[in-house]
Structure 1
Amino acid sequence: MELTVYLAGQIHDDWREQLIQKAKEKKLPLHFVSPQTNHDKSDDIGEEILGEQPNQFFRDDAASSINNLRTQVLMQKSDVVIALFGEKYKQWNTAMDASAAITMNKPTIIVRPESLIHPLKELSNKANVTVETIEQALEVLAYIFE
Protein backbone atom coordinates (compact mmCIF):
# COMPACT_ATOMS: atom_id res chain seq x y z
CA MET A 1 0.00 0.00 0.00
CA GLU A 2 1.26 3.47 -0.91
CA LEU A 3 -0.21 6.65 0.57
CA THR A 4 -0.38 9.99 -1.21
CA VAL A 5 0.49 12.84 1.15
CA TYR A 6 -0.38 16.46 0.38
CA LEU A 7 2.23 18.81 1.87
CA ALA A 8 0.48 22.09 2.70
CA GLY A 9 2.29 25.07 4.12
CA GLN A 10 4.90 27.67 3.49
CA ILE A 11 6.83 27.54 0.23
CA HIS A 12 9.76 29.72 1.26
CA ASP A 13 12.09 27.07 2.67
CA ASP A 14 13.04 23.46 2.02
CA TRP A 15 10.91 21.66 4.62
CA ARG A 16 9.24 19.55 1.91
CA GLU A 17 12.56 18.33 0.54
CA GLN A 18 13.72 17.50 4.08
CA LEU A 19 10.56 15.55 4.82
CA ILE A 20 10.67 13.68 1.49
CA GLN A 21 14.32 12.75 2.04
CA LYS A 22 13.63 11.48 5.57
CA ALA A 23 10.68 9.43 4.26
CA LYS A 24 12.97 7.86 1.64
CA GLU A 25 15.55 7.05 4.31
CA LYS A 26 12.82 5.28 6.31
CA LYS A 27 11.66 3.51 3.13
CA LEU A 28 8.09 4.62 3.73
CA PRO A 29 5.72 3.93 0.81
CA LEU A 30 4.66 7.54 0.40
CA HIS A 31 3.99 9.67 -2.67
CA PHE A 32 4.05 13.44 -2.13
CA VAL A 33 2.12 16.25 -3.79
CA SER A 34 1.96 19.91 -2.85
CA PRO A 35 0.91 23.38 -3.87
CA GLN A 36 2.95 25.03 -6.61
CA THR A 37 6.23 25.75 -4.82
CA ASN A 38 7.62 27.98 -7.57
CA HIS A 39 6.39 31.31 -6.20
CA ASP A 40 6.76 33.17 -9.51
CA LYS A 41 4.92 30.42 -11.41
CA SER A 42 2.12 30.50 -8.83
CA ASP A 43 1.81 34.29 -9.10
CA ASP A 44 2.02 34.35 -12.92
CA ILE A 45 -0.21 31.39 -13.83
CA GLY A 46 -3.39 33.44 -14.24
CA GLU A 47 -1.85 35.69 -16.85
CA GLU A 48 0.02 32.78 -18.47
CA ILE A 49 -3.31 31.05 -19.15
CA LEU A 50 -5.84 33.90 -19.35
CA GLY A 51 -3.66 36.69 -20.70
CA GLU A 52 -2.72 40.05 -19.26
CA GLN A 53 -5.08 41.30 -16.58
CA PRO A 54 -6.13 44.96 -16.19
CA ASN A 55 -4.66 45.42 -12.69
CA GLN A 56 -3.10 43.64 -9.71
CA PHE A 57 -6.47 42.67 -8.21
CA PHE A 58 -7.53 40.78 -11.32
CA ARG A 59 -4.02 39.34 -11.78
CA ASP A 60 -4.10 37.91 -8.24
CA ASP A 61 -7.71 36.76 -8.63
CA ALA A 62 -6.94 34.86 -11.86
CA ALA A 63 -3.89 33.19 -10.33
CA SER A 64 -5.66 32.29 -7.09
CA SER A 65 -8.58 30.62 -8.86
CA ILE A 66 -6.21 28.39 -10.84
CA ASN A 67 -4.04 27.66 -7.79
CA ASN A 68 -7.14 26.87 -5.72
CA LEU A 69 -8.33 24.40 -8.37
CA ARG A 70 -4.91 22.71 -8.39
CA THR A 71 -4.88 22.50 -4.60
CA GLN A 72 -8.41 21.09 -4.45
CA VAL A 73 -7.72 18.38 -7.04
CA LEU A 74 -4.44 17.26 -5.44
CA MET A 75 -5.82 17.41 -1.91
CA GLN A 76 -8.91 15.38 -2.84
CA LYS A 77 -6.68 12.69 -4.36
CA SER A 78 -4.50 12.59 -1.24
CA ASP A 79 -4.83 10.10 1.57
CA VAL A 80 -3.31 12.35 4.24
CA VAL A 81 -2.54 16.06 4.57
CA ILE A 82 0.44 17.45 6.45
CA ALA A 83 0.09 21.19 7.10
CA LEU A 84 3.24 22.92 8.33
CA PHE A 85 3.05 26.22 10.19
CA GLY A 86 6.42 27.90 10.61
CA GLU A 87 7.58 30.79 12.74
CA LYS A 88 8.82 33.07 9.98
CA TYR A 89 6.17 33.44 7.26
CA LYS A 90 2.51 34.44 7.09
CA GLN A 91 0.31 31.37 7.46
CA TRP A 92 -2.89 32.22 5.60
CA ASN A 93 -2.48 29.58 2.89
CA THR A 94 -1.52 26.92 5.40
CA ALA A 95 -4.56 27.69 7.56
CA MET A 96 -6.83 27.66 4.52
CA ASP A 97 -5.40 24.33 3.31
CA ALA A 98 -5.58 22.71 6.74
CA SER A 99 -9.16 23.88 7.18
CA ALA A 100 -10.10 22.59 3.71
CA ALA A 101 -8.51 19.21 4.42
CA ILE A 102 -10.43 18.90 7.67
CA THR A 103 -13.66 19.91 5.92
CA MET A 104 -12.99 17.22 3.26
CA ASN A 105 -12.54 14.69 6.09
CA LYS A 106 -8.93 14.13 5.05
CA PRO A 107 -6.74 12.77 7.83
CA THR A 108 -4.71 15.81 8.81
CA ILE A 109 -1.43 16.25 10.66
CA ILE A 110 -0.54 19.78 11.73
CA VAL A 111 3.11 20.61 12.32
CA ARG A 112 3.57 23.74 14.38
CA PRO A 113 6.19 25.07 16.80
CA GLU A 114 5.42 25.48 20.48
CA SER A 115 5.14 29.26 20.01
CA LEU A 116 2.01 28.75 17.86
CA ILE A 117 0.08 26.53 20.27
CA HIS A 118 -2.26 29.33 21.32
CA PRO A 119 -3.04 30.91 17.91
CA LEU A 120 -3.65 27.47 16.36
CA LYS A 121 -5.55 25.86 19.22
CA GLU A 122 -8.90 25.59 17.41
CA LEU A 123 -7.37 24.27 14.21
CA SER A 124 -5.19 21.81 16.14
CA ASN A 125 -8.29 20.60 17.95
CA LYS A 126 -9.96 19.78 14.60
CA ALA A 127 -6.90 18.03 13.09
CA ASN A 128 -6.28 14.34 13.73
CA VAL A 129 -2.80 14.90 15.13
CA THR A 130 -0.69 17.95 15.98
CA VAL A 131 3.10 17.66 16.28
CA GLU A 132 6.04 20.05 16.54
CA THR A 133 8.44 18.63 13.93
CA ILE A 134 8.39 17.04 10.50
CA GLU A 135 10.17 14.04 12.03
CA GLN A 136 7.23 13.53 14.40
CA ALA A 137 4.81 13.81 11.46
CA LEU A 138 6.75 11.07 9.65
CA GLU A 139 6.69 8.86 12.75
CA VAL A 140 2.89 9.20 12.80
CA LEU A 141 2.76 8.08 9.15
CA ALA A 142 5.24 5.26 9.78
CA TYR A 143 2.98 3.96 12.53
CA ILE A 144 0.25 3.36 9.93
CA PHE A 145 2.44 0.68 8.34
CA GLU A 146 3.29 -1.18 11.54
Structure 2
Amino acid sequence: MMRLTVYLAGEIHSSWREEIKQKAEALKLPIDFVGPMEDHDRSDLIGEEILGKQPNAVFRDAAASSFNNLRTEVLMNKADVVIALFGEKYKQWNTAMDASAAVSLGKPLILIRPEELHHPLKELSRKANATVETVDQAMKALAYIFE
Protein backbone atom coordinates (compact mmCIF):
# COMPACT_ATOMS: atom_id res chain seq x y z
CA MET A 1 0.00 0.00 0.00
CA MET A 2 1.09 3.54 -0.74
CA ARG A 3 2.43 5.68 2.14
CA LEU A 4 2.26 9.44 2.29
CA THR A 5 4.49 11.90 4.08
CA VAL A 6 2.52 14.86 5.41
CA TYR A 7 4.16 18.08 6.57
CA LEU A 8 2.18 19.68 9.44
CA ALA A 9 2.69 23.46 9.25
CA GLY A 10 1.42 25.69 12.02
CA GLU A 11 1.95 26.91 15.55
CA ILE A 12 3.91 24.71 17.93
CA HIS A 13 2.19 25.72 21.17
CA SER A 14 -0.90 23.48 21.17
CA SER A 15 -1.46 19.75 20.66
CA TRP A 16 -3.16 19.87 17.26
CA ARG A 17 -0.44 17.71 15.66
CA GLU A 18 -1.00 14.95 18.21
CA GLU A 19 -4.72 15.06 17.46
CA ILE A 20 -4.03 14.58 13.73
CA LYS A 21 -1.55 11.75 14.37
CA GLN A 22 -3.99 9.94 16.67
CA LYS A 23 -6.84 10.29 14.18
CA ALA A 24 -4.65 9.03 11.31
CA GLU A 25 -3.67 6.02 13.43
CA ALA A 26 -7.32 5.34 14.34
CA LEU A 27 -8.22 5.44 10.64
CA LYS A 28 -5.22 3.18 9.87
CA LEU A 29 -3.93 5.67 7.31
CA PRO A 30 -0.38 4.89 6.11
CA ILE A 31 1.05 8.33 6.82
CA ASP A 32 4.38 9.57 8.13
CA PHE A 33 4.23 13.04 9.67
CA VAL A 34 6.96 15.67 9.64
CA GLY A 35 6.95 19.33 10.57
CA PRO A 36 8.78 22.20 12.19
CA MET A 37 10.88 21.78 15.33
CA GLU A 38 8.28 21.61 18.08
CA ASP A 39 10.73 22.26 20.94
CA HIS A 40 10.56 26.06 21.02
CA ASP A 41 13.80 26.53 23.00
CA ARG A 42 15.69 24.19 20.65
CA SER A 43 14.34 26.08 17.65
CA ASP A 44 15.38 29.43 19.13
CA LEU A 45 18.85 28.29 20.22
CA ILE A 46 19.94 26.05 17.30
CA GLY A 47 21.88 28.86 15.61
CA GLU A 48 24.09 29.39 18.64
CA GLU A 49 24.44 25.65 19.16
CA ILE A 50 25.85 25.31 15.63
CA LEU A 51 27.62 28.66 15.13
CA GLY A 52 28.47 29.65 18.69
CA LYS A 53 27.43 32.60 20.84
CA GLN A 54 25.91 35.48 18.89
CA PRO A 55 26.37 39.17 19.83
CA ASN A 56 22.67 39.94 20.42
CA ALA A 57 19.08 38.74 19.97
CA VAL A 58 18.86 39.89 16.34
CA PHE A 59 21.91 37.84 15.34
CA ARG A 60 20.73 34.91 17.48
CA ASP A 61 17.36 34.91 15.68
CA ALA A 62 19.00 35.25 12.26
CA ALA A 63 21.31 32.30 12.96
CA ALA A 64 18.47 30.12 14.25
CA SER A 65 16.24 31.08 11.30
CA SER A 66 18.83 29.86 8.81
CA PHE A 67 18.86 26.36 10.29
CA ASN A 68 15.10 26.25 10.87
CA ASN A 69 14.52 27.27 7.25
CA LEU A 70 16.96 24.57 6.09
CA ARG A 71 15.13 21.93 8.13
CA THR A 72 11.71 23.09 6.91
CA GLU A 73 12.78 23.15 3.26
CA VAL A 74 14.25 19.64 3.37
CA LEU A 75 11.22 18.15 5.13
CA MET A 76 8.67 19.99 3.03
CA ASN A 77 10.41 18.94 -0.18
CA LYS A 78 10.10 15.30 0.96
CA ALA A 79 6.41 15.71 1.84
CA ASP A 80 3.62 14.53 -0.44
CA VAL A 81 1.03 16.80 1.18
CA VAL A 82 1.16 19.86 3.44
CA ILE A 83 -1.47 20.62 6.05
CA ALA A 84 -1.35 24.21 7.34
CA LEU A 85 -3.41 24.96 10.43
CA PHE A 86 -4.39 28.51 11.27
CA GLY A 87 -5.74 28.57 14.79
CA GLU A 88 -7.47 31.36 16.63
CA LYS A 89 -5.01 31.95 19.47
CA TYR A 90 -1.43 32.33 18.22
CA LYS A 91 0.22 34.59 15.68
CA GLN A 92 0.37 32.75 12.38
CA TRP A 93 3.31 34.22 10.43
CA ASN A 94 5.22 30.95 10.16
CA THR A 95 2.07 29.13 9.11
CA ALA A 96 1.49 31.64 6.33
CA MET A 97 5.11 31.37 5.21
CA ASP A 98 5.01 27.55 5.18
CA ALA A 99 1.65 27.44 3.36
CA SER A 100 2.97 29.88 0.74
CA ALA A 101 6.15 27.80 0.36
CA ALA A 102 4.01 24.70 -0.21
CA VAL A 103 2.10 26.50 -2.97
CA SER A 104 5.37 27.71 -4.54
CA LEU A 105 6.79 24.18 -4.43
CA GLY A 106 3.66 22.75 -6.04
CA LYS A 107 2.89 20.67 -2.94
CA PRO A 108 -0.76 19.74 -2.45
CA LEU A 109 -2.03 21.93 0.40
CA ILE A 110 -4.89 21.42 2.83
CA LEU A 111 -5.61 24.62 4.72
CA ILE A 112 -7.39 24.39 8.08
CA ARG A 113 -8.81 27.68 9.28
CA PRO A 114 -11.81 28.74 11.37
CA GLU A 115 -14.60 30.59 9.61
CA GLU A 116 -13.55 33.83 11.39
CA LEU A 117 -10.27 33.78 9.43
CA HIS A 118 -12.01 33.41 6.07
CA HIS A 119 -11.40 37.01 5.01
CA PRO A 120 -7.72 37.45 5.97
CA LEU A 121 -6.85 34.09 4.39
CA LYS A 122 -9.03 34.32 1.28
CA GLU A 123 -6.16 34.55 -1.24
CA LEU A 124 -4.15 31.77 0.37
CA SER A 125 -7.30 29.67 0.62
CA ARG A 126 -7.85 30.02 -3.14
CA LYS A 127 -4.29 28.73 -3.74
CA ALA A 128 -4.79 25.69 -1.48
CA ASN A 129 -6.09 22.46 -2.96
CA ALA A 130 -8.66 22.23 -0.18
CA THR A 131 -9.75 24.55 2.62
CA VAL A 132 -11.50 23.13 5.67
CA GLU A 133 -12.51 24.41 9.09
CA THR A 134 -11.62 21.46 11.33
CA VAL A 135 -8.99 18.80 11.86
CA ASP A 136 -11.69 16.16 11.31
CA GLN A 137 -12.44 17.57 7.87
CA ALA A 138 -8.72 17.53 7.01
CA MET A 139 -8.53 13.89 8.09
CA LYS A 140 -11.49 13.01 5.86
CA ALA A 141 -9.69 14.71 2.96
CA LEU A 142 -6.54 12.64 3.64
CA ALA A 143 -8.56 9.43 3.99
CA TYR A 144 -10.24 10.13 0.64
CA ILE A 145 -6.84 9.99 -1.07
CA PHE A 146 -6.55 6.31 -0.12
CA GLU A 147 -9.97 5.25 -1.46
Give me the whole-angstrom Cα distance separating, in 1, the residues matched to 2:82 and 2:35.
Answer: 9
- 1:14 alignment partner in structure 2: 15
CA distance in 2 between counterparts of 1:106 and 1:99 reads: 10
Which AA in structure 1 matches 2:65? Answer: S
For residues 55 and 91 of structure 1, what CA distance do their matches in structure 2 show? 25
Q: Report the equivalent of 2:43.
A: 42
Match for residue 65 of structure 1? 66
Distance of 1:123 and 1:135 partners within structure 2: 21
> What aligned pairs does 1:109-124 form with structure 2 within 5 A after superposition?
109-124=110-125
Counterparts of 1:1-146 in structure 2, within 5 Å, are 1-146=2-147
* SS in structure 1 at match of 2:83: strand
Instruction: Please report how far the alpha carbon of residue 111 of structure 1 lies from its aligned counterpart in structure 2 after TM superposition.
Output: 0.3
Give the CA RMSD over aligned residues.
0.4
TM-score (ref. length: structure 2): 0.99
Q: Give the superposition deviation at 1:125.
A: 0.4
Q: TM-score, normalised by structure 1?
A: 0.99
AA aligned to 1:7 is L
How far apart are residue 34 of structure 1 and its match? 0.6
Unpaired segments ≥5 residues, structure 2:
none
Q: Gapped runs of 5+ residues in structure 1?
A: none
Give, as a single letter, the amino acid of the residue that structure 1 aligns with 2:117: L
Quote how far apart the aligned CAs of 1:137 are: 0.5
Q: Deviations over 1:68-110 (max 9, x none)?
A: 0000000000000000000000000000000000000000000
Identity of aligned residues (%): 71
Alignment partners' CA distance in 2, 1:48 and 1:58: 13
Give 1:39 shift.
Answer: 0.3
Secondary structure at the aligned position of 1:136 is classed as helix
After TM superposition, give the deviation of residue 139 of structure 1 in Å.
0.4
Stretches of 4+ aligned residues off by more than 3 angstroms: none
* Matched pairs, number: 146
**Partners of 1:32 and 1:134 in 2: CA distance:** 15
Distance in 2 of aligned mates of 1:80 and 1:126: 14
Describe the superposition over 1:11-65 as per-residue Cα deviations: whole angstroms up to 9, x where unpaired.
0000000100010000001000010000000000000110000111100000001
